[in-house]
Structure 1
């Protein structure tokens, strides 16, 4: 039997988890805590919303097809800010705007891979990356991370074959929250260059990195574009998730290939969201800094308060950006535990089995908590509920 491309992969994890809510009644004194999806639920700030309304009402061209690679002004601003942040040389022609960062990854893979090629993904992996590789006929090669959830370049080297086309890293990491050290990213850049493959670096959560200054120096390399494909998202920074605005930075020759992909899939990214992203980059730096401070405050609340769960046998494996990744103490799989948490504790989270190959037993011990929409008080309530979970569910 020949399977369709979509039949080669699993159901979208966030959508699958939402179905666990069907038929469940949550007591008034224990409302649902949804920590399953890493997306802000608050709307954009008022100033940004007014800009979007003004664009919608006052710019007729915003309702037409726009440039396939995105608005030139937004591409130029992102190139300028990327150059400034990373002390590198990034030009407008290195930038493509995409309909979300997932599309940026899809475009990168389309320019790199043919049927049967391979891409290395550290595990636990970002499930949408795995899904797209499946649907592209590309083999995913799992790279198991160490106890600190960091991928070892020497192990990665051992996995490279003549069919390997790229290594894809996410930092700060989804799902683990771990921030990859600059020297580790440089080691992967050098590894990729040495082997003639691409390094895809997804920095969707860069704006919530705990380090001040640039998280790495890869753009300082004058020839960065021969190896690096950089992905970014405006969605988390400016609360534009519903408007789908992401970006890809790569060589000018690669962008010619990216343009073919984007023109076929979406023709162009939505223009109202692009105008919003541009205005946000130019006017909301202080507001964004405040949002980053709040996320870092919540991360500290996770780390300082976790002892309440450690006493119950839980372990905090990683934290950062929007995420806490933890190991549970129960004899059942996290796939079952996550569903029991909905019923017994009114908590919706994702099991580690959704971020690992089916033959990787570590996923059965792990859970991902996306805490971006929980304040410090809410984190305390979450810990109370997890601590109250009985062994065996």
Structure 2
């Protein structure tokens, strides 16, 4: 008897990790350091909250159904700012607003794939991408990252079959933190175009890229929309996680197909969230620049503290956006290690096994630290706790 689609994939990793806290207590002088989730816990800045409140009180249509593909003004603003940022031609007809970036990915997969098709995912992968592909009967084809956690286009080319429909990249990467070089992104674009498949580029963390200027030049191609699908989230930029507002940039014909999916699932994106995103885009550029500077300082704090762990056999494999991806030195798998860290070190983080296929031994050697809610001082405390761990080490030469 066939099993339900939800039974074909794993349980949500962040929720699973939270259950590790059940029955564990933390003292006031040694509180839990939670680096498990890449979502800001602080509320939006007060002026943005006021804009939301004003809309809730004074804009009656904010409480009604809106356009399935989002508010026209927000689509126009995304198109205008993206055209300026990337140096390309993007119109409102290329932009769809979604209930978060995860929904944008789901909608795009619905337009691309039939059951039994394939999508290439670099590993370590973003687990929600893998979960959705499982639930719609699409095979996730792992593309193991190479040095610097960068995927190789030549290796990807060897994985393409007549059932491949897309390659999905996340840059800056979750979970690895690495920023894919522009020429690497271009190489994947050229490969996808040559083989007649889509390139999905999830840029949820684009606002926290350490580089200045456009992170790639794909939108400068006048025919970018024949291959490229870009995804984005307003959650991280403006702390709107609970409002669920994301975006997808693609060919109008593809958005027309995505509209069928969106109308069936949510009918329209959250109206107050869209109003907040638009207000933020128009008014919070300077504030967002400050947020970026703070995240970059936390990234620097990770790198500054890393020599303490390196002396104990740890290795920093990637760092950027909200994430540090580390190789640990211990003789146990990362899933066991992550559970052990909760009661014994007061640290909650995610194991690499949550970002890799079960058959990939690299998952057991790595941990993800999400530092969006831990400042420089907190990062120092995190490294204090990790640096004193005195557990059996893996045999010399064990690496991945």
- Do they superpose with TM above 0.5? yes
1:294 corresponding residue in structure 2:
294
Question: Equivalent residues in 2 for 1:356-367 (5 A)?
Answer: 356-367=356-367
1:170 aligns with 2:170: yes
Q: How many Å separate the matches in 2 of 1:78 and 1:200?
A: 18
Give the Å deviation of 1:367. 0.1
Q: How many Å separate the matches in 2 of 1:100 and 1:388?
A: 39
Give the Å deviation of 1:27. 1.8
1:211 corresponding residue in structure 2:
211
Q: How many Å separate the matches in 2 of 1:369 and 1:390?
A: 20
Question: Equivalent residues in 2 for 1:181-192 (5 A)?
Answer: 181-192=181-192
Deviation per CA, 1:187-245, whole angstroms, max 9, x where unpaired?
A: 00000000000000000000000000110000000000000000011000000000000
TM, length-normalised to structure 1: 0.99
Q: How many Å separate the matches in 2 of 1:361 and 1:53?
A: 49
Give the Å deviation of 1:147. 2.2
1:113 corresponding residue in structure 2:
113
1:133 corresponding residue in structure 2:
133
1:76 aligns with 2:76: yes
1:61 aligns with 2:70: no
Q: How many Å separate the matches in 2 of 1:296 and 1:196?
A: 37
2:396 corresponding residue in structure 1:
none
Give the Å deviation of 1:304. 1.5
Q: How many Å separate the matches in 1 of 2:317 and 2:194?
A: 31
1:261 corresponding residue in structure 2:
261
Q: How many Å separate the matches in 1 of 2:223 and 2:72?
A: 23
Q: How many Å separate the matches in 2 of 1:327 and 1:91?
A: 43
Deviation per CA, 1:307-365, whole angstroms, max 9, x where unpaired?
A: 01011111000000000000000000000000000010110000000000000000100
Any conservation in 2 of the 1:120–1:140 contact (CA below 8 Å)? yes
Q: How many Å separate the matches in 2 of 1:75 and 1:183?
A: 28
Any conservation in 2 of the 1:344–1:389 contact (CA below 8 Å)? no
Q: How many Å separate the matches in 2 of 1:273 and 1:189?
A: 32
Deviation per CA, 1:37-94, whole angstroms, max 9, x where unpaired?
A: 0000110000000000000000110000010000000000000001000000000000
Question: Secondary structure at the residue paired with 1:368?
Answer: strand
Give the Å deviation of 1:392. 4.3
1:222 aligns with 2:258: no
1:39 corresponding residue in structure 2:
39
Question: Secondary structure at the residue paired with 2:201?
Answer: strand
Question: Equivalent residues in 2 for 1:6-17 (5 A)?
Answer: 6-17=6-17
Any conservation in 2 of the 1:207–1:292 contact (CA below 8 Å)? yes
Q: How many Å separate the matches in 1 of 2:392 and 2:45?
A: 43
Q: How many Å separate the matches in 1 of 2:239 and 2:215?
A: 22
Q: How many Å separate the matches in 1 of 2:233 and 2:20?
A: 29
Q: How many Å separate the matches in 2 of 1:383 and 1:246?
A: 34
Structural RMSD (CA) = 0.7
Any conservation in 2 of the 1:328–1:366 contact (CA below 8 Å)? yes
Q: How many Å separate the matches in 1 of 2:325 and 2:100?
A: 24
Give the Å deviation of 1:28. 1.9
1:196 corresponding residue in structure 2:
196
Any conservation in 2 of the 1:74–1:278 contact (CA below 8 Å)? yes
Q: How many Å separate the matches in 1 of 2:298 and 2:120?
A: 32
The size of the alignment, in residue pairs, is: 393
TM, length-normalised to structure 2: 0.98
Q: How many Å separate the matches in 2 of 1:81 and 1:117?
A: 34
Q: How many Å separate the matches in 1 of 2:29 and 2:128?
A: 35
Q: How many Å separate the matches in 1 of 2:374 and 2:28?
A: 18
2:102 corresponding residue in structure 1:
102
Any conservation in 2 of the 1:341–1:389 contact (CA below 8 Å)? no
Q: How many Å separate the matches in 1 of 2:149 and 2:32?
A: 29
